[in-house]
Structure 1
Amino acid sequence: MASLPFARFEFLIAWRYLRARRSEGGVSVMTWISLIGIALGVMALVATLAVRAGFRAEFVDTIVGSNAHVSVSRATWVGEDGVASRAIPDAPAIAERIRQIPGVTRAAPVIRGQAMVTANDRSSVAEVYGITLSDLKAIPRIANSEQAFGDIDRFDQGMAIGIGIARDLGLKLGDRVKLIQPNGARTAFGVSPRVNAYEVVYIFSAGRWDIDRTRIYLPYAEAESFFNRERGADEIEIFVEDPERIEDYTAAIYAAAGQGALLWTWKDASSAFLNALSIEDDVMFVILSLIVLIAALNITSGLVMLVKNKGRDIGILRTMGLTEGSILRIFFLCGAFVGVIGTLAGVVLGCLLALNIDPIMSAINYWTGGGAWDPAVRGIYRLPAELRAWDVGRAVILSLGLSFVVTIFPARRAARMNPVEALRYE
């Protein structure tokens, strides 16, 4: 009896075989083990890929949202007075030329320096940025901080400080903080340390533990005086529309910055960490793929037992006219059903786990006393997840592909069974 591939009766017979009777409980148990194993493997794969994607997206967003996408500095040069310097004396003009480049959203001269911060009998070391109010308000993770206190419009009257420094020094809005710079005021007797006090008018969180514990913003003119930067700005911070394609802008920025310019992109600063993340993503995918493979191999065990138990049925079906192809497709469908149902269940469970990973990790962190997620180690404050169609598709293709492949051997064994031998002792 010739039939088209995957005829309706083949689906019906395959589905009936999967619902084993009580006397065939071993087959039923193996079916459930295979299904649950595939579901758990796919769930783990989907959730892990979502968490890895979310972690990278959050980490990159904290970088490009609080740091310059490109920093332009200058090679060391010697002035007419014979003093070597790396200052950019024509920084405003260079910044204006860079702003004209298509895709550049902001270019601003910046003063950078380190200083000791003291308050309430405590001290810390901070990275101090001198910047104008308008440029500070253009930095997304600073101006639009999820944890911000104070009035950023009062920036010219004091300083903006990271929430980590504020916590370490016990600061609140309105407190005055001393900044100490060893290379301070120049006097007839040499250079003496400069000590200035500033009011805390704005406290921000950039979403990065290391930034919040080390960064302070001062008004540009105040920073210029505090760090003796009369020769010019230390660098020019540049923000672009598409930070992921920063390489497309570097040639034009070089041309606008002129001879002696040095460029440092956000990818240059974080390349080692981003490369490590990419390698870890590939390794995690391979490891979790092995888990799915092990679960899929249980389908083979279950089908081998099913073929053995259904030897009499196979002989009867063959004598009724079913071809080897029909028998092969019937048992292939038995394994495919398990793979498809397990995969669908795993995708649903994995998506639910990924969508709720943040509260789940918060609960685990609470019960472990904060040891499950340490921002000092991870860099960011929470564990995000980002479901991407490509990642879910990869998990589905992998699971279904393995499930279909491992069913071929037992299905071919059933198809090649001799009906005479199958019915000899019946």
Structure 2
Amino acid sequence: MNNSGRTSPFAPHEWMIAWRYLRARKSEGGVSVMTWISLIGIALAVFALIATLAVRSGFRTDFTATILGANAHVSVYRPPFEDADGRIVRTFDNYDDIAQRLLQIEGVNRVAPIVKGQVMATANGRNNGVEVYGETLADLQNLPLIAKPERQIGKLENFDKGVAIGTGVARELGLSVGDKITLISPDGLQTAFGTSPRINAYDVVYIFEVGRYDIDRTRLYMPLSDAQIFFNREGVVDEFEIMVDDPDNVQQLDPLLLAASDSHSATWTWKNASGGFLRALQMEDNVMFILMSILVLVASMNIVSGLIMLVKNKGRDIGILRTMGLSEGSIMRIFFICGSSIGVIGTIAGVILGCLFVIYIDPIFNVINGLMGGGVWDPSQRLLSQLPAELNLRDVMKAVCLSLGLSFIITIFPARRAAKMNPVEALRYE
């Protein structure tokens, strides 16, 4: 107590009284059941918020990683144009020189001249459409998710002796390393009777799984020289597959990339290809956070209900404490401590539960998948091989700040009501 006779804020006796009220049974004028309901509600709401944010963050990270790890950060290509001889040109003929100039740009760490095409693949009486990427072994070894995938069969060093396919292609066609895959292209040999389809068979020397269904299901890599022959691109390539040090700011390199190629070139970045999806994912993140915030708010409202009941049951005690000299501020702090303690304890419990869920999400999900008989996670619909989750300190702090902020704010109102209670009225009928 200070010299003016007023107690210092949050004095030990205020904590002691608040703690007694929180522990009191209903028969003693307490609301212990309501306290537990409020605490459990806050804990579950914070747990749900952290788990949701972690899964959303995992989705975003995994999708971005697979986009950047198995695809070009930016592609340099040629839109169709008419040359001096009146021919329609779509390809690059001096691609080695252009590749060297592109690689000299600061911030560019990989340049791969490639030939692309879509063909029909067949094996074991089955058919499947595939997207063919023709590039050299050296360039393919510098493609992160292909050189070091989640799972692989065979050796990438044997790439010059055949083709590399995704696990989805292998599964659809019943292929393994050492088998042959037949590719059928409608743009084949020019004959007197028109264009005949080109049909070639190749050995499967490498099977990869990057963890993204649309890549594993359709992607086939072929040596550049073979692809040039198969797609009638002798001596030319379709585009340059480029990777940079800072994919988020890849647009800043556009002028340099165009200057290093030629005046008829254009660029297409990973954000052009996937930017709409990433923006939709960000919007979904914001919507999910708002919905989960409402859940935390509803759980926090239980604290208000419990405190209102506590204030009503402890009216006589409030009157006695006021007549003993406790100020309105002291009474308010006592009940503020009661409500905020529930919020703090519930938040801590929710953070622990949420973090444990994210850390052990794989075994937890395996148990759920087993109980449901399997098939809960379908990679063909989710595009990822497993449920991703990423524990992010920023997301945890957002959940903690939201929960504590709401708990503290809504506790003020019933605490003020207790502080404004007239001690005479509180003791009149006692």
Partner of 2:304: 300
TM-score by length of 1: 0.97
Which letter maps to 1:248?
A: Q
CA distance in 2, matches of 1:64, 1:370: 31
Query: Given the alignment of the two structures, is residue 85 of structure 1 paired with residue 89 of structure 2, yes or no?
Result: yes
Which letter maps to 1:424?
A: R
Q: 1:135 aligns with which of 133, 136, 139?
A: 139
Q: 1:199 aligns with which of 196, 203, 209?
A: 203
Partner of 1:147: 151
Cα deviation 1:117-161 (Å, max 9, x = unaligned): 111111111100100000011111111012101011110011101
8 Å contact 1:46–1:395 — kept in the other structure? yes
Q: 2:395 aligns with which of 388, 391, 397?
A: 391
8 Å contact 2:29–2:313 — kept in the other structure? no
CA distance in 1, matches of 2:373, 2:95: 49
Which letter maps to 2:251?
A: E
Seen in structure 2, the aligned counterparts of structure 1 residues 411 and 25 have a Cα distance that, compared at 3 Å, is: closer
> Structure 1 stretch 187-196 or stretch 209-218: which is displaced more?
187-196
SS in 1 for 2:151: coil
Query: Given the alignment of the two structures, is residue 66 of structure 1 paired with residue 64 of structure 2, yes or no?
Result: no
Give the unaligned 5+ runs of structure 2: none
Cα deviation 1:185-219 (Å, max 9, x = unaligned): 22344322111111000001121111111111110
Which letter maps to 1:92?
A: D
CA distance in 1, matches of 2:150, 2:44: 35
Partner of 1:250: 254
8 Å contact 2:132–2:220 — kept in the other structure? yes
Which letter maps to 1:360?
A: I
Query: Given the alignment of the two structures, is residue 39 of structure 1 paired with residue 43 of structure 2, yes or no?
Result: yes
Alpha-carbon shift at residue 179 of structure 1 (Å): 0.9
SS in 2 for 1:33: helix
Identity fraction in percent: 60
Partner of 1:350: 354
Partner of 2:58: 54
8 Å contact 2:108–2:245 — kept in the other structure? yes
8 Å contact 2:119–2:185 — kept in the other structure? yes
8 Å contact 2:167–2:207 — kept in the other structure? yes
SS in 2 for 1:3: coil
Alpha-carbon shift at residue 68 of structure 1 (Å): 0.5
Which letter maps to 1:413?
A: R
Cα deviation 1:256-305 (Å, max 9, x = unaligned): 22312111111111112111111111111111111110110111110111
Partner of 1:121: 125
TM-score by length of 2: 0.96
8 Å contact 1:141–1:207 — kept in the other structure? no
Alpha-carbon shift at residue 359 of structure 1 (Å): 2.3
Q: 1:211 aligns with which of 172, 190, 215?
A: 215
Query: Given the alignment of the two structures, is residue 175 of structure 1 paired with residue 161 of structure 2, yes or no?
Result: no
Q: 1:13 aligns with which of 1, 14, 17?
A: 17
Which letter maps to 1:125?
A: G
Partner of 2:234: 230
8 Å contact 1:130–1:218 — kept in the other structure? yes
Which letter maps to 1:422?
A: A
8 Å contact 1:361–1:372 — kept in the other structure? no
Partner of 1:109: 113
CA distance in 2, matches of 1:418, 1:289: 36
8 Å contact 1:68–1:239 — kept in the other structure? yes
- How many equivalent residue pairs? 426
Q: RMSD across aligned C-alpha pairs, in angstroms?
A: 1.4
CA distance in 1, matches of 2:108, 2:328: 67
Partner of 1:364: 368
SS in 2 for 1:350: helix
> Structure 1 stretch 12-21 or stretch 63-72: which is displaced more?
12-21
Alpha-carbon shift at residue 368 of structure 1 (Å): 2.9
Query: Given the alignment of the two structures, is residue 380 of structure 1 paired with residue 384 of structure 2, yes or no?
Result: yes
Alpha-carbon shift at residue 371 of structure 1 (Å): 3.0
Seen in structure 2, the aligned counterparts of structure 1 residues 266 and 199 have a Cα distance that, compared at 3 Å, is: same
Alpha-carbon shift at residue 361 of structure 1 (Å): 2.1
8 Å contact 1:66–1:140 — kept in the other structure? yes
